[in-house]
Every structure is written in C-alpha cells, then in structure tokens.
Chains A and B, each alone.
Chain A
C-alpha cells in the first residue's frame, strides 16, 4: 500500500506523517507540491505545518499548488485523502471539505494533549476506531477554529459528516466542538489535531493516533 505525503514549502509534520504511515504498515511515498506526479499512490496525507507561512490565509496558496490539482481530481474519484492541521486548512481552501479554519477565538496558539470523541468510525481514515471512542492526541494550532454558516453546520450534522469532536475542553473555539469533518463519500477527512504525533509511547501522549493510518490500509484494500 503506497501512501503519499505531500510536502509544501513550510510543511513541518511531513516526516512525522511518513513515520506514522511506516509504523502502521504502509509504504510512505514523499510527494512534492510542484510536481504533477502522484507516483501511483493509493492515498494521500496532507501534513501539518505552515505552508507558505500562512500568507493570505492558512492553506490558501498550497491549495492552488500544481499537485493539489491532481489530488482534487483523484479525490473526486474516491482516492482517500487525510488533511491534518494545515492539511485540513488546505482541503477546505481547495473545496474538498466544507467550512473554513480561522484564528483561534482566544487568539493564542494552543499546544496540548487533547481528548477527542470519534463520531464516525466508518470513514476511510477511522474504521479502526469505535463510534464514541475517546482518544487523546496532541493539538497545536493558531488558526484551528472551525467555522461555517449555521445552515451548513446543520446540514453537516444531519449528514453525519462530523468525524471527531473536542471533549473535555474546546482548544480554539471551533463551532460545535468540531475537530474534524469528512466528505460526503467518507474518503476525504480533515482533522485539526495531530494523530501522527501519537503513534509511539516514547514520543506521544498515547498511541491513539495510529488508527487513522491503519484504517486507510483496510479502506484501500476494501
């Protein structure tokens, strides 16, 4: 199973994402934003960081990168895509996910271990979890406040497209405690917290994050 990790100028967590994929049993493939070459990967992870220094809006310029055009086209055909933190911002800016990520309500950068509740355990990236499962992974963002029009939020909730919610405290003021959302087909997932930082006891608060990367292996095989 070949899973690409797309690096933009300013990506930070691409190496951690590669490591998490390797630990999950996948073959990680490094992808470069300026190429038009997805290297025959079966799925793509958009990593965290500060692509283009968050200039214009977080994720806005990366969303228009050459390789993102290929990612958008392939995602339309069902290729699984996981956007973490800045990757989530890129997916929203690219129109693959609804809503937008904005400056944290309290204006502080927030960096801590965060409890989440998995709301959807049947997406390409969450099938190794149970619905309602509590996991703890790091969150670290300055522009992580998920917003959308109330009517859009109602629609997303109605369609069951909230993948994970913050529990035991909302770190950034996200609407309805939303930490992650999915596309209508459950193949594209955006998540503000960082599962790739919670894959080993030595370095993470838990190994709860590994499930995102093992889930997709089954999803792609299915």
Chain B
C-alpha cells in the first residue's frame, strides 16, 4: 500500500480572500508576525500496488486541481 499526498494551492497571482480573512483574524488575535496566509487543499490517496507516478500526476492536474487557478504538489510515500 502506498500513500500519495497531493497539496493544491491557488497560484500566487490569484487572490485568496479566504486566506486574507484568516490573516485578518490572526492580526486581531495579536499574531502580528504572520504576514501572509494562503489557504489550500490537502488530499491523501491510498494506492494498491506500485503507484504509477504519471497516472497520479494526471489525476492531480486534471481533477484534484484546476490548472487555470491552482498549483499542485505530489508527495509519494511508501509504507
């Protein structure tokens, strides 16, 4: 069993109002040292057998992320 982690975040040039709202809350809580928050998605996929990296990349880039607005990072970890 392999575990694949996929992180999806908005591209830097796409504004992230949710991240900005979190940043605003942090400021109100006194965490003035935090200067930026970007919110994203974290997927954990479990794969039977040897993971096919090309297939996983395709899954990440065509379904889990929308390449128009999001960047994606793939992390493979074998148990």
Instruction: Decide: A99 near B66, CB < 8 A? Known: A104-B17, A107-B18.
Output: no
Which residues in A have some Cβ–Cβ distance to B below 8 Å?
56-57, 60, 64, 92-93, 98-100, 102-107, 147-150, 173
Q: Which of A57, A93, A107, A150 has the largest number of chain B CB atoms within 10 A?
A: A57
Contact across chains for A64 and B14 when beta carbons are under 8 A apart: no
With contact pairs A147-B14, A149-B13 given, residues A100 and B21 touching in the complex (Cβ less than 8 Å): no
23 A-B interface contacts by CB (under 8 A): A56-B63, A56-B64, A57-B66, A60-B66, A64-B63, A92-B68, A99-B68, A100-B66, A100-B69, A102-B10, A102-B14, A104-B17, A105-B17, A107-B17, A107-B18, A107-B21, A147-B14, A147-B68, A148-B68, A149-B13, A150-B13, A173-B15, A173-B17
Describe A's contact surface by its main secondary structure: loop
CA gap between A57 and B43 in the complex, in Å: 13
Q: Bin chain B's interface residue count.
A: 10 to 19
Cβ–Cβ < 8 Å partners of A103 in chain B? 17-18
